[in-house]
Structure 1
C-alpha cells in the first residue's frame, strides 16, 4: 500500500491532514480485515468512501475538542494520575542514616521560643516548624527517635543567627557494614557525584508540602549526599533558614559539645551613660554565681548556678544613620561570650545595666548581686525586653560546615553543579536581603511618622509653646532630668513615680524556697 504522505495533497493544515489520515486508516482496516466489503462492487465502495468523507467533514465543523481516531495511542498516565492506585508507603529501613548538625538562623518575634512544646497550633515554636519540615521531607520518622539535641533554648521573642541542632537523618550514601560505627564524620570517596543527583534526592514542590521520595540509591561511585539545605529551606517559613550542615560523630551533642556561646543585645543610647554601663559590665567577667541574674525554675532542680563570661563589651553598632531623629538615637550593643547561660540570664544582666546607665544604681551593684551571701535572693526588678536579644553564634571544635551542594560534592571527591544550580548561598543571601529591605522600609516609614508628629505644638506651663520634637530633644539633652521611666530595652519602659533601689526592693523567693513550694505542689497534684 502506498504511504499516506503520497496520497495526501501537499498543502493541508495539520487538522486537515489528521482528518484525511483518519479516513485512510478506516479504509485500510476495512481492506485488511475480511468483512462484508469483500463482496461490494467498485461503485458501492466509491459511494461508501464519499459517505465517510462526508462524515469526517461534519466532524471537522464541530468544536476542536471532538475526539478523532488517528490510531495514535494516548501517552500513559503518570503515577499520580492513575486512578485507584495508592502510593507505595515509604520505608525508612531501606535507607541509611547518619548523624548530622545543622546551623540555622531564625527571627524569633513570631514564635513562642525555640524548643517545641507539643502544641504547635496554639504555641508555635521554631523547633516545631523544623520538625514539620523534616517529617515532610521524610528525613526523619519521629522527632523522639532521632537522637535530637539543641545548642541553646532561646525564649519567646528571642532570635538566633547561629543556633545549632544535631540529629539522625536519612542519607543518600550506601549502608555501611554493621561492625563499622555509623557516620563518624568520614566521607566516602566518590567521583562523578552530581550526574544523577536529581534522580536520587528528595523532590519538594515549592507550593506544596507533599514530597516525592525516590528509591534508595544503589551502591555506586557516582553518589553524593542529599541537598539538605535546599530541601529544608523549601519547606520552612522564610523567617527560619538552614545556613549550613556538617557530618558529625554519632556521639556529638549540640548542647554539651558546644565550647562557647555568643549573645548580642541591641539598644538605643538615649540618656544612658555608656561609661557607667561598661564599668558595671566588667564585674561580670570571669566565673561567678549568677543566681541573682536569672529566673529560677524549680522543676529543673538546678544546683549549680556558676557560669563563666569570657568576653564582654558595649560598643556602638555600625548601621543606618539615625542622627536625624535627634540625640541619643545611635544604636549600641552588648556582646558577650560565655560557656553556657542560665534561663533569662542575659535579659536580667541587661536590666541591671540599664539601671546603672540611668544612674539609678551604681556600677558596684553588679558586684554586690554576684555575692549570694549578701543577696540570698534576687531583687524583684523587671527583666529587659526579649526583642533585641540574639543568640549570635555557637562554637564547636572540629565541625566542618558545608554551605552548598557544590561544596558537598567537592568535599566528597565529586563534581559540583555549576551556574544557576550552584547558588544555594546566593539564594539564601538574597532571601535575607529581601527581608532586610522590608524591615528597613518599615523603619523609614516609622521615622517619617515620627517626623510628622515632631512638629505638633505643645503648650508648656509657662505659656511657651514647643513642638513634640523640641520637648524630646530637651529631655534627652538633660542628663540630670528626674527619672520617671525605667528603660527595659526594645522601646519598652516602666513608668514610675519614684524608683526603689535594689537594696530596698522586695526580694523574690530564694532557690530553696521555690524548690520546697514546687515539691509541695507536686505532691498535692499526685494525691
Structure 2
C-alpha cells in the first residue's frame, strides 16, 4: 500500500477483529453503554481515520449479543489515511478488542451483505452428557428450515440455510459448531439449548426435527451467552494477517491467570465443606 504525495489516497479497508464480550453490551452501537462498535468508532475518530462514520460507511458484518465473544468479526470503513489505519488501529484499541487481519476491499464492499458464511462455536458450561447423540441431532439443522422456535422473535424472515453443524469434544468441553450464511437473534444459543436437552437425554434427536417443522409447544430458551464465539466470517478474499497488540495479548493472559487462581481458590473453599 503506497501513499503518493499530494494525491487522494481514499481507500476502503476491512479489518478482522476479535473481542472478549464480557465488557460490552453487545457489538452494535447503543447510547450511553459500552459496545464494540462504539469503541472502534471512537478510536478511528481519535486517530483521524474519519470524522463521520456514516460518511465513511462504517459497518460491521453482523451483531453479537451482550456477553458474546468474537475471533472473526469484520468491520469496514473508507479512509483517506489507510496506512495510518493499518499501522495504528491495532495498537490504539482497548485491551479487550484486537485486530488479526486487514484487507483492501472495493469501494462498494459491505461486510454484512458480502459474507459467504458465518461460523460460531458454543462451549457448553457443563457437559450435557451424550455428545454423539447431540451430533446426531445437530444434523437435522442442515439445509433450509424455519427457525421460529429456535430464535428470538423479530420482523425478519425466520428461514435460514445451515451449511454445516457438528458437536464434538475438545479439552474436556463439549462444543457445538455451526455455519450458515446468516443467523437470527439468539439462534445459535437456542440451537445449543436444544442440543443440550438431547445430550441430557431429556429429548430424542428427532425432537429437533419437530422444532424445525414448527411443531413445538414453545420457543426454546437461549443458552447463556458466555460460551458463544463468532469464530469466522468467510469472504472471497483473504486477510493479510496482523499480530494482536501486546496490550491485547497481555490482557488475555492476565484474564486466564486470574481464572486459574479463582478456580484454585474455589476448590480450596469447597474443601472445607466436609470438615
Match of 1:165 in 2: 75
Match of 2:225 in 1: 386
**1:432: how far off?**
4.5
**1:447: how far off?**
2.4
Could you tell me which of 94, 97, 114 is aligned with 1:237?
94
Could you tell me which of 239, 264, 270 is aligned with 1:448?
264
**1:271: how far off?**
5.2
1:272 paired to 2:129: yes
Unaligned runs of 5+ in 2: 1-5
- Contact 1:102–1:166, Cα closer than 8 Å, also in 2: yes
1:344 paired to 2:257: no
- Aligned residues, how many? 270
Match of 1:402 in 2: 240
Match of 2:65 in 1: 155
- In 2, Cα distance between equivalents of 1:281 and 1:164: 27
- Contact 1:229–1:242, Cα closer than 8 Å, also in 2: no
**1:357: how far off?**
1.6
- Contact 2:128–2:196, Cα closer than 8 Å, also in 1: no
Match of 1:134 in 2: 44
Q: Secondary structure at the match of 1:143?
A: coil
Deviations 1:333-364 (A, max 9, x none): 11111111111100111111112222222222
1:287 paired to 2:125: no
1:228 paired to 2:85: yes
Deviations 1:152-180 (A, max 9, x none): 21111111111111221123xxxxxxxxx
Q: Secondary structure at the match of 2:91?
A: helix
Unaligned runs of 5+ in 1: 1-92, 172-224, 319-329, 405-424, 458-466, 469-527
Query: What does 1:199-348 align with in structure 2 at a 5 Å threshold?
Result: 226-270=83-127, 272-297=129-154, 301-302=155-156, 304-318=157-171, 330-348=172-190
Q: TM-score by structure 1 length?
A: 0.48
Q: Secondary structure at the match of 2:195?
A: helix
- Contact 2:127–2:174, Cα closer than 8 Å, also in 1: no
- Structure with a larger share of its residues in strand: 2
Deviations 1:372-391 (A, max 9, x none): 2x34xx61543100011011
- In 1, Cα distance between equivalents of 2:167 and 2:108: 37
Question: RCO greater where, 1 or 2, for CA within 8 Å and sep 6 or more?
Answer: 2
Query: What does 1:25-104 align with in structure 2 at a 5 Å threshold?
Result: 95-104=8-17
**1:269: how far off?**
4.8
Deviations 1:362-413 (A, max 9, x none): 22211001002x34xx61543100011011000100x242235xxxxxxxxx
Structure 1 pair 242–229 and aligned structure 2 pair: CA distance change class (3 A): farther
- In 2, Cα distance between equivalents of 1:400 and 1:348: 31
Deviations 1:184-230 (A, max 9, x none): xxxxxxxxxxxxxxxxxxxxxxxxxxxxxxxxxxxxxxxxx514233
Could you tell me which of 363, 386, 390 is aligned with 2:205?
363
Q: Secondary structure at the match of 1:353?
A: helix
**1:283: how far off?**
0.9
- In 2, Cα distance between equivalents of 1:382 and 1:367: 17
- In 1, Cα distance between equivalents of 2:8 and 2:135: 55
- Contact 1:138–1:170, Cα closer than 8 Å, also in 2: no
Cα RMSD of the aligned pairs, angstroms, is 2.2
Q: Secondary structure at the match of 2:74?
A: strand
Structure with the greater alpha carbon radius of gyration = 1
**1:438: how far off?**
1.4
- Structure with a larger share of its residues in helix: 1
**1:106: how far off?**
0.9
Could you tell me which of 86, 95, 107 is aligned with 2:20?
107
Q: Secondary structure at the match of 1:100?
A: strand
Deviations 1:409-467 (A, max 9, x none): xxxxxxxxxxxxxxxx2xx264444233212222221222232133234xxxxxxxxx4
Match of 2:253 in 1: 437
- Contact 1:285–1:311, Cα closer than 8 Å, also in 2: yes
